[in-house]
Amino acid sequence: NRQLEASFLGSYTTPDEMPRDPLPEIAFVGRSNVGKSSMLNALVGARKGVAVTGRTPGRTRLLNLFEIEDSGGGRARVVDLPGYGFAKIADAQQADISRFLEAYLDGRRQLRGIVFLVDCRRDPNPEDMEIIQVLRSKNLPVVLVATKIDKLKSSAEFANSLNALEDFYATEPLFFSSTTRQGRPELWARVNELLFS
Ligand code: GDP
């Protein structure tokens, strides 16, 4: 793996406020608690002060932007999109999140692809289908990543998870664990390909 420097650029409440220069960008989307913050930290090798935290709905409703630079001088941006599916927030706020997501996806010319995170042990539901359909409707590559695979304790559990996800999303997921970092090289390779080729 190439060495990465990551820095936090800021939180934005509307896509209009985001930097307009043409650095390639990749966005991460997932249900609240899916492990998105942990994945971003594991993926961009966060230094102190870069750590992504998604613990409070108020914070994750914002779009967080990170800049990464690899040892070869390649620069790109990583976008942490608002988590969806918070049990505790009102429908009106959920509607705000959807509008925000659509505004970003429709308006952001820098965007090269989307990473869609799903928990490997959770049964997908109609809301997940709705979200991935929105993502797929934008004519950008959508990478399905199953998180927390360290929690799968046997090859049978692994096979069940793989089958359930493949059936539902009609694509093979990449498997990832922030805890063991399993799957990190594969995910990073895919992200690199989307950003730099
Ligand atoms: P977010 O809401 O999607 O940003 O999720 P977080 O990254 O905050 O993670 C939610 C919870 O799942 C936390 O308690 C994490 O410690 C846990 N978690 C995240 N990634 C993993 C993983 O790969 N393996 C395990 N076992 N737990 C994880």
**3 state DSSP class of 174:** strand
Structural domain boundaries in the chain: 4-196
Q: Compute the radius of gyration of the chain from its Cα atoms.
A: 16
172 Cβ contact partners less than 8 Å away, ≥ 6 residues apart: 144, 162, 166
Name which of 132, 13, 135, 119 is nearest 65 in CA terms: 13
**Can you tell me the mean pLDDT for 62-71?**
85
151 vs 61 pLDDT, higher one = 151
Nearest CA to ligand 1 atom 24: 148
Residues pairing with 174 in the sheet: 145
Q: Which CATH superfamily is domain 4-196 in?
A: P-loop containing nucleotide triphosphate hydrolases (3.40.50.300)
C-alpha of residue 52 to centroid of ligand 1, in Å: 11
DSSP state of 76: E
**Can you tell me the mean pLDDT for 2-17?**
80
C-alpha of residue 63 to centroid of ligand 1, in Å: 19
| Average pLDDT in the chain | 86
**Ligand 1 pocket residue status of 85, Cβ below 6 Å:** no
